[in-house]
Structure formats: C-alpha cells, structure tokens
C-alpha cells in the first residue's frame, strides 16, 4: 500500500473506512503495485491519487463533476476530473467546458486548465477511475475503481444535502441511480468532448443553473473564474 502513498483527508477516511478494507480494494492496490513493479507508468502519481478528496473534504462538497478516467499523457493528470496541471495544454473537452463558461456566464477563456480553485470552493472533481496506465485510456476501468467511486457517490448522496451533480455524457448519467434526486439537483448534458459537445453540452447553462440552485438553498455560489 505504501507504494501508491495512500493519504486521504480525515472526513473521507472516516466515511469510506469500510471500503478500504474490502477485498476488491486490496486487490486494486495490489494490481497497481504489480503494474509499477513491471515498469508501467501510472497516472496520476501516487501523492495526487486522492487529490480531489484532499482538496474538497466531504462536508465542503457543493457540486460534483464526474469524469471517466485520468488523462494518460505525461504531466497532465493530477487527481481532479477534467483538470490538467498548470502549464499543460488545455485538452479538447476542457476547451469546450471553458467555451460553455464563456457563453453561459461571460467568463473570459482561461489561460490555465488547472481547476484547483474550483475544488477549493467545494467542486468535487471525481473520476470514476482514479488511475490509468500511460498512453492507454480506460486501462484501469475494470480493476475495481468503479466499486470505490460508486460508494463515494452514494456516500455524498446519503450524508449530504442540496448537492449539484453535473452528469455529462452517457457514462456519467448511468450513475444517476446512485443519487437521491429528492434531496439533490441532477443536471444532465452530453459530454463536452468534441464528438458530442455540439449535441447539447454547449448551451446547457449548467454553471448558471448550479449557482441559482445553491443561492436558492442558502449556499454560497461557486466563483467559476480560473485563477
């Protein structure tokens, strides 16, 4: 376990403690450890594996944006869905997210694709798989991460209230069954990928809809500027 440097914020550690001891999670850790021993590069690096959890404690979550798996190129992934490390080129899906921000609430197109400033405000940027093998998208989709992240979504749904879940694309929308729609807002749109963004992601107005809901619920809205 030490090889992937598991370190997770205390509120998440308490809420998910049973998951960490389940056979699937121990197998998952062993799988990643073995891949590293075989010389495979795994992203993100171990210290950033739980970055979303460490930046956004459970009781601070206001919004959940669900991605599929981490970026698989060097220096991109840092444990936050759709986000890339500062200085990296902005990937196509994130470009479309920024275009929608511009259209929806007039935010100028950012220079950086690092969404840490969102995460610090309560935007939980969760990938369904927390790791990926270099150059091989979805390579860790079947090793057990879905069990873990499904439990994370259910935990948020059960323990929190008035959370905005942004579900972009078919994959994310399949997670709707894990969310109690009577106590949360679920916003759905096509994926921001260039393949589907023009089928309804651009123009979905999720960012303004999210803030309208948060204000209505007496919760501070998100400042969507990237700084």
Q: How far is residue 36's CA from residue 25's CA, in Å, rounded to a whole number?
A: 17
The active-site residue out of 69, 114, 220, 223 is: 69
Tokens 């709707």 correspond to what residue?
A: 176
Region of 205 on the Ramachandran plot (φ > 0 left; ψ -120 to 50 alpha; else beta) = left
- Is residue 69 annotated as part of the catalytic site, yes or no? yes
Host H or E run for residue 207: helix 206-216
Q: How far is residue 130's CA from residue 78's CA, in Å, rounded to a whole number?
A: 10
End-to-end CA distance of the chain: 34
Helix, coil or strand: residue 136: strand
| 149 phi, psi to nearest 5 deg | -70, -30
Residues designated as active site: 69
């Amino acid at each position: 376990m030490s090889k992937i440097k598991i370190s997770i914020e205390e509120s998440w550690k308490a809420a998910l403690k049973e998951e960490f001891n389940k056979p699937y999670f121990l197998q998952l850790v062993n799988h990643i450890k073995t891949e590293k021993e075989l010389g495979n590069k795994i992203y993100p690096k171990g210290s950033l594996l739980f970055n979303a959890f460490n930046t956004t404690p459970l009781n601070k979550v206001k919004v959940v944006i669900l991605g599929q798996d981490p970026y698989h190129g060097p220096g991109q992934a840092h444990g936050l869905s759709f986000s890339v490390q500062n200085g990296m080129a902005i990937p196509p899906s994130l470009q479309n997210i920024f275009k929608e921000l511009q259209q929806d609430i007039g935010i100028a197109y950012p220079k950086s694709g690092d969404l840490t400033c969102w995460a610090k405000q309560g935007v939980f940027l969760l990938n369904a798989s927390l790791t990926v093998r270099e150059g091989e998208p979805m390579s860790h989709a079947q090793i057990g991460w879905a069990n873990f992240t499904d439990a994370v979504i259910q935990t948020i749904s059960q323990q929190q209230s008035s959370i905005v879940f942004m579900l972009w694309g078919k994959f994310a929308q399949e997670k709707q069954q894990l969310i109690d729609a009577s106590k949360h807002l679920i916003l759905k749109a096509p994926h921001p990928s260039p393949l589907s963004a023009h089928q309804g992601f651009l123009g979905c107005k999720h960012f303004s809809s999210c803030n309208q809901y948060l204000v209505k619920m007496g919760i501070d809205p998100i400042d969507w500027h990237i700084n």
